[in-house]
Amino acid sequence: MTTPGGTRVRVVHERDVPAADAWLDPVERKTLAGLHVPKRRADWLRGRWAAKRAVAHWARLGESPSDLARVGIRPAPDGAPEAFVDDRPGPVLSISHSGPWAAAAVAPRGPLGCDLEEVRPLDDATVDLFFTEAERAEMRREAAGSARDQRTILLWSAKESALKALRAGLRRDTREVEASTGREAEAGWGSLRVRDDADGRVFEGWWRNLDGLVLTVVEGCAPSRRE
Ligand SMILES: CC(C)(COP(=O)(O)OP(=O)(O)OC[C@H]1O[C@@H](n2cnc3c(N)ncnc32)[C@H](O)[C@@H]1OP(=O)(O)O)[C@@H](O)C(=O)NCCC(=O)NCCS
């Protein structure tokens, strides 16, 4: 699928990941051999399966194991994934896993962040700890129950996407980035914004509901609007 801003996103399920590892390159096979915790191993594999196919599509490669093995995904020192095709830098890439699902977004340039979350209730203490007052007000505009759960997870996911675009992740306080949803909607996507309190930059992106999952993509940054 493609966001209205042109970012391509691949969403995969664990049942689609091949049992054989011919689609991994030698460095990735070595990494996999060192992953002993079953959940981490499964998450990593699913994320690589989504990412390598997204990058292969970007590079106009096929999806055979030998084509996918030409795509290398390497973690940068900060943990952000970086894509290579035949050892040359590829597109900007972001990866997320959630339950049996994974998503990978690719774009020609950053900032880019994507996040996939299963819709679930968050308790009040968690909401108070991680969200700003404005975000809590946006949640309260929805009726308690599934609509509010979805709005809460959507705002959380938008914050995670922005923190990935910043390459900081949860090293930053999640209340330093404030998410809101916009009125714009296009082909099943809704617009979102995330403002970084540190410098007033506003990230822009899109979200969509995928049958109990929320996908968010932050794919650009408007000029600073600090008052
Ligand atoms: C980025 C972060 C918020 C993702 O949280 P998560 O609950 O694992 O969520 P997701 O499944 O959506 O995302 C995981 C992916 O985020 C990406 N990622 C990790 N660190 C990232 C960073 N600094 N910037 C951008 N993307 C990052 C990776 O691709 C990772 O998947 P992979 O390791 O299989 O390649 C979290 O990993 C984080 O805060 N990392 C930085 C701090 C850190 O390194 N902590 C060590 C672990 S406690």
Give residue 225's pLDDT.
Answer: 52
Residues 121, 64 within the same domain: no
Residues 127, 178 within the same domain: yes
Rounded CA separation 209/207 (Å): 7
Answer yes or no: is the C-beta of 207 below 6 A from any ligand 1 atom.
Answer: no
- The tokens describing 158, both together, are 């938008």
Answer yes or no: is the C-beta of 159 below 6 A from any ligand 1 atom.
Answer: no
- The tokens describing 138, both together, are 């946006």
Give residue 223's pLDDT.
Answer: 64
Residues 121, 218 within the same domain: yes
Answer yes or no: is the C-beta of 138 below 6 A from any ligand 1 atom.
Answer: no
Block means of pLDDT (10 residues each) for the chain, length 227 residues?
96 95 97 96 97 98 97 97 97 97 96 97 95 96 94 98 94 95 90 95 96 95 61
Give residue 227's pLDDT.
Answer: 43
Does a structural domain hold residue 227?
no
Range of the structural domain that residue 126 is part of: 114-222
We report the CATH number of the domain holding residue 69 as 3.90.470.20
Residue 141 Cα to ligand 1 midpoint, Å, equals 30
Please report, as a single letter, which amino acid is at residue 184. E
Residues 25, 98 within the same domain: yes
Tokens 């930059």 belong to 201
Residues 99, 121 within the same domain: no
Atom of ligand 1 nearest to the CA of 115: 12
Does a structural domain hold residue 1?
no
Please check whether residue 146 is in contact with residue 209, taking contact to mean a CB–CB distance below 8 angstroms.
Answer: no
Residues 167, 202 within the same domain: yes
Does a structural domain hold residue 3?
no
- CA quadruple 19, 25, 30, 32: dihedral sign: negative
Choosing from 109, 125, 145, the residue where a domain stops is 109
Contacts 24+ apart (CB under 8 A), 55-58: 55/83, 55/85, 55/90, 55/91, 55/93, 55/104, 55/106, 57/8, 57/10, 57/106, 58/8, 58/90, 58/91, 58/106
Residues 121, 158 within the same domain: yes
Ligand 1 pocket, mutate which of 17, 94, 96 (most atoms under 8 A from CB): 96
Choosing from 80, 109, 138, the residue where a domain stops is 109
Residue 207 Cα to ligand 1 midpoint, Å, equals 19
Choosing from 76, 109, 142, the residue where a domain stops is 109
Ligand 1 pocket, mutate which of 49, 159, 170 (most atoms under 8 A from CB): 170
Rounded CA separation 138/134 (Å): 6
Residues 134, 81 within the same domain: no
Residues 71, 120 within the same domain: no
Residues 45, 86 within the same domain: yes
Tens digit of each residue's pLDDT (9 = 90 or more) over 138-182: 999 999 999 999 999 999 999 999 999 999 988 899 999 999 998
In our burial notation (b when 16+ CB lie closer than 10 A, e otherwise), range 12-37 reads beeeebeeeeebbbeebeebeeeeee
Give residue 173's pLDDT.
Answer: 92
Does a structural domain hold residue 2?
no
Residues 207, 126 within the same domain: yes
Residues 151, 69 within the same domain: no
Report the number of distinct structural domains present in the chain. 2
Give residue 170's pLDDT.
Answer: 87
Rounded CA separation 9/98 (Å): 15
